[in-house]
Each structure stands twice: as structure tokens, then as C-alpha cells.
Amino acid sequence: MTPVRSRRSPLVGTVLAWAAKIIVLLLAFQVVATFLSSDSLQWSVVWSYMFDGDVLAGVARTIQLTVIAMVLGCLIGLVLALMRLSPSIVLNAVSGAYIWVFRGTPVLVQILFWYNLASFLPELSIGIPFGPDLVSGSTNDLITPLVAATLGLGLCEGAYMAEIFRAGILSVDHGQTEASAALGMTRRQSMRRIILPQAMRVIVPPTGNQVISMLKGTSLVSIISMNELLYTVQVIYARTFETIPLLVVASIWYLVLTTILNIAQYFIERKFAKGATRNAPVTWRDRLPQRRKPTEKFFSHEETI
């Protein structure tokens, strides 16, 4: 027997979908219009500070801190990931303890800890154990706001990057390691030439997200009076009392920087995804409602004969 097909028209579903889209667009338009037309935002003040010298210096310091902390985090993360994958119980335990501590405590607490390190270590020194000090110095002189911010952000980021690197390495088929060993490669050569290039397909997307998160996370160091973007605008509006316009300036700059990072991440992902099987991305044309095809006529076996 011919299966009975549902004859319910999709017209109702289509109408509801378009109605929901129109409502969302109207609400978004209302929010944007309210935001742009609000007198309290003082857009003239916003544009006057967008390219102010102090603000641009804060933007540059934010970029600098992001790069330094991410490089430190990636280096630490790669070492920790290799330690986690090591057959050595000691290396595995040390790596696991590091990840447990730095992922389990807030970044803000870590930044404050490094900034106030001098409260229980007034002097830092490097020397022979149970022997004389070779190099020593005041902790307050060595742990500047930039150093404290770099340590707080970079060491914490290393714990997250360790798990990202470990997941990427484990995503590569074990046969690749065996094949490289059969070719006479050492473990280090296999990791550098075979495993890591293939693992980058898995590593790059979450790393890009971490970079964007790091860029925004640099705003936390304003609490230790480091002159990055947020602290710079805080100093300005403490003097001019134009709080909201200056916060809008900072928000616009953060949006600009994160947009640039998003675009860079897209092209980097495309580069490392070459040769991999991927579904074609859905474009706006694919989202348009398609014209209904005429219903096919089904014939029974006797009718076709």
C-alpha cells in the first residue's frame, strides 16, 4: 500500500517564522535607535576622545599585554600538555597540579596576588640552594604592574592552553606516530613535523577564542592601576565626570579589536583546514525560503506496469 503522507501545509510555520524575524528586527532597531538618539551618551564627547592620545596609548598597552600574556600562556600550555601526555608519573602529576591550581582560582585573585607579592617576599633572589645568592633585588622594583599583569594573565592562560594543546594532540590518529617512528623519526621530530601540524586544525579555533577572551580580560588589570584601555578612560572620566561617554569609547575600541581578531581567526582556520573534509558553510542565500516543488505522484506497482 502507498504510505499516507501528511498534507498539512507549511504555510502556518512559514508565517510564524517570518513574524518572529520581523519582531526581532523591530526590537533590535528600537534598541539601536534608542542608543544612538540618547542625549545622555553625548556622542560629541565620545568622538572627541576616540583618538585622544591617552586613549590610543591605552589601546597600544592593551594590545601589548594581550600579545605578551598569550605568548607566555601558549609556551607554558605546550610544555604542560607534553608533560600530561608523558609516561612519567612525576611530570603528569606536576602538570595536573598546575592546571588544577590555576584553573581553579579567579584570574583577578591571581593578578592581585602577584601585585602584592612583596607583602610576604620583600626580596627576590636567585642563588645556589643553601648557599650564597647570585642575584637579588627588591620585589617592589621587580614586580611592576606590567609584570604582575603578565604573570597573572599568562600563567592562568597556560593552564587553559595546556588542555587545548592536549586535546589537539590526542585528536591525531595514533597511527601517525607509529608511521613516523617507522620512518626513523625521533619522538621530538614526530611531534614537530607530523603531530602538531595536524593538531592545529583542532587547536586553532579554541585558541582564537582564548585570544579574544584575553584581550577583554586585560581590563581586569585596571585594578592594579596599569594604564591599559579601561584604566585610561577611568582616569579621564574621574577628572571630567563624563563616565558613560568614556565607557562607550572603551567599548568601541574593544569591539574594533575583537572584530579584527575574529577576521584573522577566520583566515587562519581556513589555512589549517585545507585538505580536511568540511561541509560547505551556510550562506544567506541558503536561508531564504525555497519555492515548493510540485508533489510527486506515486504509483503502485500495478499502475506502473
Question: Structure pTM?
Answer: 0.77
Distance separating alpha carbons of residues 127 and 73, to the nearest angstrom: 26
Instruction: Look at the block and give the residue holding cell 599583569.
Output: 149
Distance separating alpha carbons of residues 84 and 90, to the nearest angstrom: 10
Q: What is the mean pLDDT of residues 100-112?
A: 96
Cell of 16: 510564524
DSSP 8-state class, residue 27: H
Domains and CATH numbers, the chain: 43-125+135-273 (1.10.3720.10)
Indicate if the pLDDT at residue 33 is higher than 90: no
Reported residue count of the chain is: 305
pLDDT above 70 coverage of the chain, percent: 84
Contact 84, 166 (CB under 8 A): yes
pLDDT of residue 275: 58
Amino acid at 125: S
- Specify the higher pLDDT residue, 14 or 260: 260
List, for residues 168-205, the tens digit of each pLDDT value.
888 888 777 778 778 778 777 787 788 888 888 889 99
| Res. 104 pLDDT band, cuts 50 70 90 | very high
pLDDT above 90 coverage of the chain, percent: 50
pLDDT of residue 228: 94
Name 125's bridge partners: 136
Residue 205 φ then ψ, to 5°: -60, -50
pLDDT of residue 120: 84
Q: What is the enclosing helix (H) or strand (E) of 126?
A: strand 123-127
pLDDT of residue 144: 92
Q: What is the enclosing helix (H) or strand (E) of 269?
A: helix 243-272
Q: What is the mean pLDDT of residues 46-58?
A: 94
Indicate if the pLDDT at residue 219 is higher than 80: yes
Contact 72, 157 (CB under 8 A): yes
pLDDT of residue 53: 93
Indicate if the pLDDT at residue 8 is higher than 70: no
- Specify the higher pLDDT residue, 132 or 114: 114
Work out the mean pLDDT of the chain and round it to a whole number.
84
pLDDT of residue 282: 53
Contact 73, 154 (CB under 8 A): yes
Indicate if the pLDDT at residue 130 is higher than 70: no
